[in-house]
Amino acid sequence: MAVMRSLLSHLAGFLLLLASTVGGNAFCLAFSPSAQSAAATMSTSTTNAATRNAANAAATLTPTPTCQQSQQAARSTTRSTSALRMGLFDGLKRFTDRAAASHILLSFAPDAESRLEEMKTDIDDSPIKFAEFAQLYSECPSSSSGGSLGEFGRGAMVKEFDEVVFHDELNVVHGPIETKFGYHLIYITQRSD
């Protein structure tokens, strides 16, 4: 019997949530003590009786003062202050933005930047030449795969690298870029913005 009461109580809560969602009051409603007792005393004899009791329980819901303030604030909100325009979801971009890139890494040597500048000129934005130069000169383990880092999300690489990959032009050699690892030439092959 206790299990049945618990089940009916959860059913009543679900019906209340459903009713409140349709009415636009989702997440603001609270059970009054009489709603809980109504849910706890639901009849177990027939489905119709349970449905009637759930409806009775729904009728005993009362908005909390916080809910009323929330509803009033929601009614006064204009389009210009929508969550999207306020940038509340901008942080989610880092979870959805993806890119694929290759790089050539040279450690901090006195001539590293000038060597990369020469390579950049010789590569002339050719992905085939970029992969060949990466295999020959890059000091990164990715050199064995032509410098390919595969696909990765925003924030997976160091900040300076991310800035280039997620903002600069595709299919162009960028750099030299300095990071804590050394100097890079970066070739961005794809990006989902």
Q: Which residue has the higher pLDDT, 168 or 78?
A: 168
Instruction: State the average pLDDT for the chain.
Output: 74
Q: How many domains does one find in the chain?
A: 2
pTM over 0.75: no
Where a domain ends, among 48, 79, 110? 79
Domain-embedded: residue 90: no
From the list 168, 179, 171, the residue with the least C-alpha distance to 139 is 179
The answer on 44 and 120 residing in a single domain is no
Where a domain ends, among 79, 108, 134? 79
User: pLDDT tens across 133-162, in order?
Assistant: 999 999 999 999 999 999 999 999 999 999
Q: Which residue has the higher pLDDT, 188 or 61?
A: 188
Preceding omega of 141 cis (within 30 degrees of 0): no
Domain-embedded: residue 137: yes
How far apart CA 171 and CA 156 sit, in angstroms, is 20
Q: Is 184 left (phi over 0), alpha (psi -120 to 50) or beta?
A: beta
pLDDT at residue 96 in the model:
79
The answer on 187 and 102 residing in a single domain is yes
Domain that holds residue 15: 2-79
Domain-embedded: residue 88: no
